[in-house]
């Protein structure tokens, strides 16, 4: 028998491993022999831990594979490896260290080593200067914790690990602390650890002295998209990206390999990767802002750090952003923050639009108006002046509008009328920003506006609440009076109505104007006011004219316009407030009676059934249609009332609310190329057309000369010089022409 086929069990560990897994009892002596060999090598290795040992590496791998077969014989094997990694982690050989970690992972999967002890060891190994090891441990920790919480949350293990990771964030090694924070953030993104305790642990990292750790924690709360590694990007490619990648690589493989082609391939791959990054949706972590235990203390501590911060300006902007978001969401009090921002409210300041955004979203209705008023005055004085460009003025007006929408009491009558005067500005962006501010106060407090800017009094006046006041409790759902019970509606009405539910239980009242939506303007965003809005410039006549127009309308239409439900306050109004109805006592009594019937109907609907989300949406759309009803004889541009337009303003201010300018923006390169391609498609229409009776005839010598090169024509006299004919030559030419004409007439 050849030596190749002879049994080599004492030295052939993979073969012995296979046989032991099949029959552990028969090969127990061979295993013990290898185990004693491992112990002898371990004692020699401990004398020089930094030395490479391939024999020990293979023995550890072998014993960890078959350890479940002889658990009593190797009871201290896992503790020996754990102690070796814990003591000599930084001095071990890289390959041996990786082998020992994999052996512990295998033993833990066989329930021969506690998982909490293993993960704590791996977190400590983040301190080792081995990038490949840290990456492998990071992946294993995420996968292992995800596996533990797959069926149900393992609160005991999670609590122990979170307490340990809280200490790791304060570790002396910045790399270990940063990797521990990345593990927490990744587990939150995967919805594994999305509880308040995890958020609180991440919040402590915002006060770290290491800039990288603090920035990572701030980005987590601000919802900034995480930069992924190349390997992760390749694994998450879409099918189109994979197809384009394969085509590029195949073209390079088939064609001749040159340096120029290699450069083109590199640029193409970079462009493909850049396009893939742009197409990814950003990650938002706004839910983490709501899970903070004590946001007031957190904001105060973060603001104190901001005041004494010497980091670069981008880091300070992130701190301002987080403070302002928490103040707006939780309605916190931090009065020193507004004077701090006021120092940066200058048009020449870097990233001033972001600072204006932070100022607007930090305001809320519980802040005293006298605290915000100096900052609002600073915005008006520095931005809304004729010295500045139109874009600067429109940004300032947008900021004032957003602040007033959250804290209406900050605006004074004198200041509002000064800002409303910009509605007639020649620049469109300034004019539209001023009109959006007027539109806001028409809904909140029209008494501050000039009489001609208040618009038509077609609805009940809104109730202006003072500082600290709250709206009274309602007896019914706002807008429920627009719903009719199925017993009150004939069958033909339910079948013809386009707004009834599928079960036929409800139908919206007053659907007569649904087919005539020519006068609807969307109210979803206050700054989106139509260009053709004539309420601002054409309503210069006093209220008497409006009253005469109202008296010409039918009584039913007048009552419906007065009873339009635009908010929670209008439904509970018990007295008519429109000036046209106060003139006649009979109309006042009739309106009170109709209001009482509406309230009773709304109370009946609210107390007898639950309204669905679709019904609430339909009620909201109907209220918007009634609220923005145009005057008689006026026309407005049609704006479709979609669900997006009908949604209420969110908790946070967007950059578009501040920096939105009603002006045609310059096209980027892709837009310019699109315009050029569109023009090329129509170029045949404007080409020169040959004026010939026979389109198939040949061209003349003059036309052929236009297509020839100059060197072919340079010898000709008319090309070399443009000499004018003398007077004598003109006389001779005229004489010859006249003689020729006379000869033709005689014929």
Per-residue model confidence as pLDDT tens digits over 561-571? 433 433 344 43
pLDDT at residue 486 above 60? no
Q: Which two tokens mark 29? A: 């002596």
pLDDT at residue 576 above 60? no
Q: What's the whole-number mean pLDDT along residues 225-230?
A: 43
Which residue has tokens 């946001």?
Answer: 295
pLDDT confidence of residue 627: 57
Element (H, E) at 484: strand 483-485
User: CA 161 → CA 170, 178, 292, 321, distances in Å?
Assistant: 15, 16, 20, 31
Element (H, E) at 251: helix 239-254
- Residues in Cβ contact with 294 at an 8 Å cutoff, skipping those fewer than 6 apart: none
| Domains defined along the chain, listed by start | 294-453 (1.25.10), 480-653 (no CATH), 701-746 (no CATH)
Q: Which two tokens mark 564? A: 């339009």
Distance CA 455, CA 140 (A): 65
Instruction: HSE, CB side, 13 Å, CA atoms: give it for residue 685.
Output: 5
Other CB atoms within 10 Å distance of the CB of residue 729: 10
Q: What's the whole-number mean pLDDT along residues 527-534?
A: 43
Burial class (CB in 10 A: 0-12, 13-18, 19+), 746: exposed
pLDDT at residue 495 above 80? no
Which residue has tokens 């014989």?
Answer: 73
DSSP character at residue 281: P
Distance CA 228, CA 672 (A): 32
DSSP string, 295-326: HHHHHHHHHHHHHT--S-HHHHHHHHHHHHHH
Cβ pair 173, 141 in contact under 8 A: no
Cβ pair 200, 185 in contact under 8 A: no
pLDDT confidence of residue 336: 93
Distance CA 249, CA 265 (A): 8
pLDDT confidence of residue 213: 92
Distance CA 432, CA 391 (A): 12
Res. 487 pLDDT band, cuts 50 70 90: very low
When mean pLDDT is compared over 167-171, 259-263, 264-268, 502-506, the highest value belongs to 167-171
Which residue has tokens 């809280």?
Answer: 166
pLDDT at residue 309 above 60? yes
Distance CA 55, CA 643 (A): 70
Q: In 3D, which of 342, 744, 185 has the Cα closest to residue 177?
A: 185
Distance, first Cα to last Cα, the chain: 126
Distance CA 39, CA 656 (A): 69
Distance CA 189, CA 344 (A): 34
Question: For residues 584 and 663, which has the higher predicted lDDT (pLDDT)?
Answer: 663
pLDDT confidence of residue 575: 40
When mean pLDDT is compared over 351-365, 621-635, 640-654, the highest value belongs to 351-365
Res. 477 pLDDT band, cuts 50 70 90: confident
Q: Which two tokens mark 717? A: 């006299």
Q: What's the whole-number mean pLDDT along residues 15-39?
A: 87
pLDDT confidence of residue 333: 93
Q: In 3D, which of 366, 362, 315 has the Cα closest to residue 342?
A: 362
Q: Which two tokens mark 374? A: 């100096």
pLDDT confidence of residue 47: 85
pLDDT at residue 191 above 60? yes
Q: Which two tokens mark 361? A: 């979203």
Distance CA 155, CA 181 (A): 20
**3-state class of 508 per DSSP?**
strand
Res. 626 pLDDT band, cuts 50 70 90: low
pLDDT at residue 526 above 60? no
Would you say the C-alpha torsion 337, 339, 345, 350 has a positive or negative sign?
A: negative
Question: For residues 303 and 697, which has the higher predicted lDDT (pLDDT)?
Answer: 303
Distance CA 636, CA 642 (A): 17
pLDDT confidence of residue 613: 82
678-716 burial, b if ≥16 CB within 10 A, otherwise e? eeeeeeeeeeeeeeeeeeeeeeeeeeeeeeeeeeeeeee
User: CA 167 → CA 123, 143, 154, 302, 372, distances in Å?
Assistant: 11, 22, 20, 20, 40
Query: What is the percent of the chain with per-residue pLDDT over 70, rounded to a whole number?
Result: 71
pLDDT confidence of residue 419: 92
Distance CA 485, CA 487 (A): 5
| pTM for this entry | 0.65
Query: What is the percent of the chain with per-residue pLDDT over 90, rounded to a whole number?
Result: 23
Distance CA 164, CA 122 (A): 12
Q: In 3D, which of 122, 133, 129 has the Cα closest to residue 82?
A: 122
């Amino acid at each position: 028998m050849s030596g190749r086929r002879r049994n080599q069990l004492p030295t052939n560990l993979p073969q012995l491993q296979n046989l032991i897994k099949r029959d552990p009892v028969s090969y127990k002596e061979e295993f013990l022999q290898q185990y004693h060999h491992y112990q002898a090598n371990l004692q020699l290795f401990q004398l020089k831990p930094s030395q490479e040992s391939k024999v020990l590496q293979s023995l550890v791998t072998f014993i960890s594979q078959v350890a479940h077969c002889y658990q009593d014989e190797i009871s201290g094997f896992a503790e020996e490896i754990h102690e070796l990694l814990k003591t000599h982690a930084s001095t071990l050989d890289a390959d041996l260290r990786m082998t020992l970690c994999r052996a512990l992972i295998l033993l833990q999967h066989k329930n021969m080593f506690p998982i909490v002890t293993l993960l704590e060891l791996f977190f400590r190994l983040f301190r080792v200067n081995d990038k490949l090891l840290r990456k492998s441990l990071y992946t294993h920790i995420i996968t292992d914790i995800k596996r533990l919480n797959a069926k149900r949350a393992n609160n005991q293990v999670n609590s122990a690990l979170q307490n340990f990771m809280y200490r790791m964030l304060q570790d002396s090694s910045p790399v270990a602390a940063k990797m521990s924070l990345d593990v927490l953030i990744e587990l939150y993104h995967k919805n594994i650890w999305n509880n308040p305790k995890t958020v609180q642990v991440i919040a402590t990292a915002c006060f770290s002295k290491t800039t990288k750790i603090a920035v990572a924690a701030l980005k987590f709360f601000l919802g900034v998209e995480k930069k992924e590694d190349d390997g992760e990007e390749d694994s998450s490619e879409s099918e189109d990206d994979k197809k384009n990648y394969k085509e590029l690589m195949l073209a390079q493989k088939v064609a001749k390999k040159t340096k120029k082609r290699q450069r083109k391939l590199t640029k193409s791959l970079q462009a493909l990767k850049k396009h893939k990054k742009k197409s990814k949706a950003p990650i938002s972590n706004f839910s983490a802002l709501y899970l903070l235990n004590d946001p007031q203390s957190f904001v105060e501590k973060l603001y104190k750090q901001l005041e004494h911060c010497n980091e670069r300006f981008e880091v300070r902007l992130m701190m301002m952003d987080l403070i302002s978001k928490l103040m707006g969401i939780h309605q916190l009090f931090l009065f020193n923050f507004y004077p701090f921002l006021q120092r940066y409210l200058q048009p020449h300041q870097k990233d001033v639009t972001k600072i204006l955004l932070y100022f607007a979203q930090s305001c809320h209705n519980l802040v005293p108006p006298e605290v915000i008023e100096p900052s609002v005055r600073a915005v008006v004085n520095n931005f809304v002046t004729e010295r500045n460009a139109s874009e600067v003025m429109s940004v300032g007006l947008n900021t004032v509008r957003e602040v007033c929408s959250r804290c209406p009491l900050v605006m004074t009558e004198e200041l509002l009328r000064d800002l409303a005067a910009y509605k007639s500005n020649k620049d469109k962006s300034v004019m539209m920003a001023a009109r959006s501010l007027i539109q806001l106060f028409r809904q909140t407090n029209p008494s501050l506006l000039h009489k001609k800017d208040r618009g038509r009094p077609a609805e009940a006046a809104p109730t202006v609440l003072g500082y600290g006041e709250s709206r009274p409790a309602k007896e019914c759902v706002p807008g429920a009076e627009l719903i009719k019970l199925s017993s009150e509606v004939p069958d033909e009405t339910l079948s013809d109505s386009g707004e009834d539910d599928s079960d036929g239980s409800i139908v919206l009242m007053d659907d007569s104007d649904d087919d005539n939506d020519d006068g609807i303007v969307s109210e979803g965003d206050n700054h989106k006011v139509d260009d053709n809005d004539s309420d601002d410039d054409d309503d210069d006549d006093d209220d008497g004219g409006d009253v005469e127009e109202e008296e010409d309308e039918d009584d039913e239409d007048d009552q419906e316009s007065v009873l339009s439900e635009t908010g929670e306050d209008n439904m509970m109004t018990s007295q008519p407030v429109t000036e046209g109805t106060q003139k006649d006592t009979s109309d006042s009594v009739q309106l009170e009676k109709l209001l009482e019937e509406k309230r009773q109907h709304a109370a009946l609907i609210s107390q007898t059934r639950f309204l669905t989300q679709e019904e609430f949406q339909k009620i909201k759309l109907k209220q918007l249609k009634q609220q923005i009803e145009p005057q008689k004889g006026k026309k407005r541009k049609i704006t479709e009332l979609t669900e997006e337009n009908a949604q209420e303003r969110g908790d946070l201010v967007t950059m578009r609310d501040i920096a939105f300018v009603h002006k045609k923006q310059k096209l980027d390169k892709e837009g310019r190329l699109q315009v050029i391609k569109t023009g090329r498609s129509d170029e045949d229409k404007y080409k020169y057309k040959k004026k010939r009776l026979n389109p198939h005839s040949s061209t003349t010598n003059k036309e052929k000369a236009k297509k020839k090169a100059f060197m072919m024509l340079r010898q000709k006299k008319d090309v070399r010089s443009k000499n004018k004919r003398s007077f004598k030559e003109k006389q001779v030419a005229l004489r010859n022409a006249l003689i020729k004409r006379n000869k033709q007439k005689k014929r």
